[in-house]
C-alpha cells in the first residue's frame, strides 16, 4: 500500500480470513483503493480508510461480506481489520489498522466483533505517522485529517515479503473509546 506518507507492506491471512482477504484483494486489483484517503484517524487507537475520495465523497462499494470475527486473530497493534456499521455483516471496502492493542474490538457488540485479516510487516512507522496527523471535522465527519492522507495505490505482491518484523509500540498514545465504523457519519 503506497500512501503519500510512505509504503505499508501488509501480510494477509487467507487461511483464517478467506472472505475478508478475497474482498480486500478484489478491491485492490480493481483499483478501487487508488486515490482514496484515510478519512478517520484517532491517535492511540486506529487509522481507517478505503471508502472515501480526497474530497470526502463516499465511493460505491460492492455488497457487504460475512463477518469473520471468530477466526482467532486479535485486534493487536499493526493488524488490519474490516470496518463495519452496527450491523454485524456490513463490511465492504473500508478497513482500519490498529495502532495499539485494541482487544475491546475482539468482544462482540451488535452481534459480532471486528474481523482481523492481516498485519503490517513493514512500514508501521508510516502508520504511526498517519496516526499523528492533526484531525478535525469535515463533511460532517469527526477525526478527519486536516491534511489529506492519500492511498496512492494498493498492489498485490505475488510473493511473501522478506521482512517479518513485529510492529513496535508507539512512544506515546492513549486508547480512544471508539469503534471503527463504515457509515458516513462516523
CATH number at residue 125: 2.40.100.10
Q: Give pLDDT, residue 153.
A: 97
The domain tally of the chain equals 1
In a domain, 184, yes or no: no
At residue 162 the predicted structure's pLDDT band, cuts being 50, 70 and 90, is low
* Mean pLDDT of all residues in 118-139: 97
43 is in which domain, residue-wise?
2-153
Centroid of chain to Cα 67? 15
Q: Give pLDDT, residue 56.
A: 97
In 35-83, beta strands by DSSP E = 36-42, 46-53, 79-82
CA torsion angle for 53, 116, 154, 39 (degrees, to 10)?
20
pLDDT tens, 129-141?
A: 999 999 999 999 9
- Return mean pLDDT, the chain: 90
In a domain, 64, yes or no: yes
Cα distances (Å, whole numbers) of residue 125 to 61, 167, 168: 29, 9, 9
At residue 179 the predicted structure's pLDDT band, cuts being 50, 70 and 90, is low
Amino acid at each position: 500500500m503506497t500512501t503519500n506518507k510512505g509504503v505499508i507492506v501488509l501480510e494477509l491471512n487467507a487461511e483464517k480470513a478467506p472472505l475478508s482477504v478475497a474482498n480486500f484483494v478484489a478491491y485492490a486489483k480493481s483499483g478501487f483503493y487508488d486515490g482514496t484517503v484515510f478519512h478517520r484517524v484517532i491517535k492511540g487507537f486506529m487509522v481507517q480508510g478505503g471508502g472515501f475520495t480526497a474530497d470526502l465523497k463516499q465511493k460505491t462499494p460492492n455488497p457487504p461480506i460475512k463477518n469473520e470475527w471468530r477466526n482467532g486473530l486479535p485486534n493487536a497493534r499493526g493488524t488490519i481489520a474490516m470496518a463495519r456499521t452496527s450491523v454485524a455483516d456490513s463490511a465492504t471496502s473500508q478497513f482500519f489498522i490498529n495502532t495499539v492493542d485494541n482487544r475491546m474490538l475482539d468482544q462482540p457488540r451488535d452481534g459480532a466483533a471486528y474481523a482481523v485479516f492481516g498485519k503490517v510487516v513493514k512500514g508501521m512507522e508510516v502508520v504511526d505517522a498517519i496516526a499523528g496527523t492533526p484531525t478535525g471535522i469535515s463533511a460532517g465527519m469527526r477525526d478527519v485529517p486536516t491534511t489529506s492522507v492519500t492511498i496512492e495505490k494498493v498492489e498485490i505482491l505475488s510473493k511473501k515479503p522478506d521482512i517479518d518484523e513485529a510492529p513496535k509500540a508507539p512512544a506515546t498514545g492513549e486508547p480512544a473509546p471508539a469503534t471503527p465504523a463504515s457509515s458516513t457519519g462516523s
